[in-house]
């Protein structure tokens, strides 16, 4: 339905996990030091979750996404060229050292709510902990494995230089011939936090007029907190927990 017919009201649908944990895909590189992906290869190179690609480059071995591993530093020739060092003197690599199958996602019908209300807070704590572990780990990996993001669109590329596929559809892309504008990525480009309103403990419905009093938190964090997890210090500022929320716009006017 058009927004003017809804008078700006949201049309709430049912939730998929992708609504709180936004999927970000990137090209999987067979060789992270190989040639940059040219435009005509853009449909031939597999796209996988960007976070998975980062972990593969950092050492995780997934049989379905092989990648070239070097055990010695490359030998640079001139300004841009290089050759691989001779690794013949090294013992056979332990091929299975980091190899692990990718965990299958739970089938939709097996996803059920916690069996009892008492189990919800511990699941919320566990989930929040996993979110923090993933973000902290990804941040550390990006210090060694550079990630680029387009300044015009959300495309990310796990490599110190961007790819050459001209598939940027963002603002004024015609002037750039579809080329992405690559710049250094930050963690939020790789794992978008998707900020949502923090529901006040009173559980009252949010009112548009009181918007300036409400705080926000990443959707995953907000779900966990509503489930009973403790608020971590770093989220307290944006959640505006220290701000009293007036009960009506009239009271709000008196406060301001």
Question: Smallest distance from the beta carbon of 206 to Zn ion, in angstroms?
Answer: 34
Question: Smallest distance from the beta carbon of 180 to Zn ion, in angstroms?
Answer: 4
φ, ψ dihedrals at 64, nearest 5°:
-75, -15
175 neighbors 152 (Cβ within 8 angstroms):
no
In the block, which residue shows the tokens 């995953």? 220
197's enclosing H/E stretch is strand 195-197
Question: Smallest distance from the beta carbon of 27 to Zn ion, in angstroms?
Answer: 13
The nearer residue to Zn ion, 135 or 148, going by C-beta atoms, is 148
The nearer residue to Zn ion, 47 or 236, going by C-beta atoms, is 47
The nearer residue to Zn ion, 155 or 222, going by C-beta atoms, is 155
The nearer residue to Zn ion, 185 or 217, going by C-beta atoms, is 185
**One character per residue 31-70, x = contact with Zn ion (rule: CB under 5 A):** ----------------------------------------
Question: Smallest distance from the beta carbon of 163 to Zn ion, in angstroms?
Answer: 10
How far apart are the C-alpha atoms of 255 and 232, rounded to whole Å? 28
Question: Smallest distance from the beta carbon of 37 to Zn ion, in angstroms?
Answer: 14
**One character per residue 168-207, x = contact with Zn ion (rule: CB under 5 A):** x-----------x---------------------------
Question: Smallest distance from the beta carbon of 170 to Zn ion, in angstroms?
Answer: 5
98 neighbors 59 (Cβ within 8 angstroms):
yes
Helix (H, G, I), strand (E, B) or coil at 182: strand
**One character per residue 117-156, x = contact with Zn ion (rule: CB under 5 A):** ---------------------------------x-xx-x-
The nearer residue to Zn ion, 164 or 240, going by C-beta atoms, is 164
Total interface residues for Zn ion by CB under 5 A: 6
Name 145's Cβ contacts closer than 8 Å, sequence gap at least 6.
Answer: 32, 54, 57, 58, 158
* 3-class DSSP string for 152-164: CCCCEECCCCCCC
Name 242's Cβ contacts closer than 8 Å, sequence gap at least 6.
Answer: 236
How far apart are the C-alpha atoms of 114 and 117, rounded to whole Å? 7
The nearer residue to Zn ion, 114 or 151, going by C-beta atoms, is 151
Helix (H, G, I), strand (E, B) or coil at 130: helix
Binding to Zn ion by residue 26, rule CB under 5 A?
no
In the block, which residue shows the tokens 């936004």? 22
Chain residues that interact with Zn ion, rule: CB under 5 A = 150, 152-153, 155, 168, 180
């Amino acid at each position: 339905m058009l927004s003017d017919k809804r008078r700006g009201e949201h049309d709430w649908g049912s939730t998929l996990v992708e609504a709180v944990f936004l999927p970000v895909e990137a090209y999987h590189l067979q060789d992270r030091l190989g040639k940059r992906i040219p435009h005509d290869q853009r449909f031939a190179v597999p796209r996988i979750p960007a976070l998975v690609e980062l972990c593969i480059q950092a050492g995780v071995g997934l049989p379905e996404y092989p990648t070239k591993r070097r055990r010695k530093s490359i030998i640079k020739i001139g300004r841009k060229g290089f050759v691989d060092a001779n690794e013949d003197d090294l013992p056979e690599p332990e091929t299975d050292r980091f190899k692990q199958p990718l965990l299958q996602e739970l089938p939709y019908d097996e996803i059920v709510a916690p069996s009892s209300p008492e189990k919800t807070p511990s699941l919320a704590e566990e989930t929040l902990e996993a979110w923090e572990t993933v973000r902290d780990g990804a941040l550390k990996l990006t210090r060694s494995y550079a990630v680029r993001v387009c300044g015009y669109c959300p495309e990310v590329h796990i490599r110190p230089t961007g790819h050459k596929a001209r598939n940027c559809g963002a603002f004024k892309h015609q002037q750039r011939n579809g080329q992405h504008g690559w710049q250094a990525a930050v963690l939020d480009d790789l794992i978008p936090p998707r900020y949502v309103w923090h529901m006040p403990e009173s559980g009252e419905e949010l009112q548009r007029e009181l918007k300036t009093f409400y705080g926000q938190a990443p959707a995953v964090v907000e779900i966990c907190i509503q489930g009973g997890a403790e608020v971590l210090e770093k989220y307290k500022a944006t959640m505006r927990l220290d701000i009293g929320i007036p009960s009506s716009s009239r009271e709000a006017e008196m406060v301001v």
